[in-house]
Amino acid sequence: MTAAAEVSATSQSLTPHQTWLRVRGPLLAVLVIVIAGVAFAAIRSGGQYGRLDPRSADPHGSRAVAELLEDRGVSVEIVTTLDEAAAETGSGTTLLVTSPNMLTAQQQRRLRTATADSPNRTVLIAPDGSSLSRLAPGVRTGSQGAVNARRPLCELPMARRAGSVHLGGIRYTTAAPGATGCYPDRGLSTLLVLPGTGTGTGTGTGDSVLLGSPDLLQNDRLDQQGNASLALQLLGSRPHLVWYLPSFDDPSATGGGRGSGDEAGEGSGFISLIPQGWIWGTLQLALAAVLAAVWRGRRLGPLITERLPVVIRASESTEGRARLYRRTNAREHAAAVLRSAARSRLSTLVGLPSRDADSPEALIPALAARLGTTGTSHSSLLFGPAPADDAALVLLTNQLDALEREVRAS
């Protein structure tokens, strides 16, 4: 068999212009996503505050309730560190913790110690099970529920005055004596008031209030149902309100000389540091990717043979099919088609029936007998692996053509 020369560059190789045409679509999509992300981040950072921030006028901010409290003579102080919050846990103070789950285990224990023996009120927004074991021992949680307008169904005076409010989210239950649960959802409370352990009496006795969701404090919900009434009673029972917005920049979150290691890092894994919106966004993107893969891989059913309106030359049909193979990089399929056609013609030339064309045990010995060779190279050529690149595919084509010519000549 005549050995074909190694092909270094062929017409099947992609030109730079063709490569650019292939990649420009994905590059444009990535560029649009990056520009949109930068623009969104710039808009979000343009002087806006976070969720439940009393300075924020956004729908999920709490500027409205803060201004109503100040109009009624309640001073509102914003703090972002545990040191500042613990320093304000004196008499006549309400401490609102907007994100107790952001605190490390050590921070939660320190906050519990600072508020347990004081006559103030502590309001915790949606603490979950791991936080409750340190902030409100003895309280258990159920599965989260939807936020809806709920009736109080309890004897708590401020709840009865407020009437129906928007509550839900985390549900609480406890066997602690003196605890009052309101606004139940499937038998568990979405507002739970725990009596304090301080030494104060009457209105000065401290207590802890657990809210299953923050919706009634948000600007877009404050004017609905009795949300404003309950919010003002919860946060305005003392003349001073400390609005604690936990921050990852708080020095006490890293231990700061009060302990570190596993104890300080308990409950503060990597997942807990990711904002909930990013987690849901990632899940949505993963679902979109799966749906896109299903869409791109869909099967439209078997091919239907139709009579062509015009006669197409065989060479044009071959070139069109070759371009389709090239566009999809289907070198393996193209090589299989070339080898199958070559085996079919060779089996006819050596006198084998068509059913033996794909049988190496029958075809290779017949070729070896016809050409007087061992047949090892014929086996690799006709039944070998797929070519690794376009140059190897062209070389395979040349070798198959040379083998067929040699058999015909013999």
Quote the pTM value. Answer: 0.53
**Considering the chain, what is the average pLDDT of its residues?**
81
Phi, psi (deg, nearest 5) at residue 139: -95, 135
DSSP state of 241: E
Q: Is 193 helix (H, G, I), strand (E, B) or coil?
A: strand
Inter-residue contact 162 to 217 (CB < 8 Å): no
Asked whether residue 11 carries a pLDDT value surpassing 80, the answer given is no
Dihedral through CA 344, CA 345, CA 347, CA 349, nearest 10?
Answer: 170
Closest CA to 2 of 402, 342, 354: 402
Inter-residue contact 166 to 227 (CB < 8 Å): yes
Say how many C-beta atoms besides its own lie within 10 A of residue 20's C-beta: 11
Distance CA 330, CA 208 (A): 68
- Can you name the residues that pair with 207 across neighbouring β-strands? 121, 195
Report domain extents, the chain.
18-47, 63-254, 314-409
Average pLDDT of the segment spanning 35-42: 73
pLDDT score for 161: 94
What single string gives the DSSP state of each residue in 88-153? T-STTEEEEES-GGGS-HHHHHHHHHHHHTSSSEEEEES--HHHHHHHSTTEEEEEEEEEEEE---
Distance CA 238, CA 146 (A): 31
- Per-residue pLDDT tens digits for 122-166: 999 999 888 888 888 889 998 888 999 999 999 999 999 999 999
Question: Tokens 């009434």 identify what position?
Answer: 229
- Per-residue pLDDT tens digits for 207-248: 899 999 999 999 999 999 999 999 999 999 899 999 999 988
Residue 202 — very low, low, confident or very high, per pLDDT cuts 50/70/90?
very low
Distance CA 211, CA 191 (A): 5
| CB environment 175-213: b (16+ within 10 A), e (fewer) | eeeebbbbbbbeebbbbbbbebebeeeeeeebbbbbbbb
- Per-residue pLDDT tens digits for 287-343: 888 888 877 776 666 777 777 778 778 888 888 888 888 888 888 888 888 889 888
Higher pLDDT, 253 or 269: 253
Q: Is 386 helix (H, G, I), strand (E, B) or coil?
A: coil
Asked whether residue 260 carries a pLDDT value surpassing 50, the answer given is no
Inter-residue contact 166 to 148 (CB < 8 Å): yes
- Per-residue pLDDT tens digits for 368-384: 888 877 767 788 888 88
Distance CA 234, CA 242 (A): 13
The residues near 6 (Cβ < 8 Å, ≥ 6 apart) are 391, 395
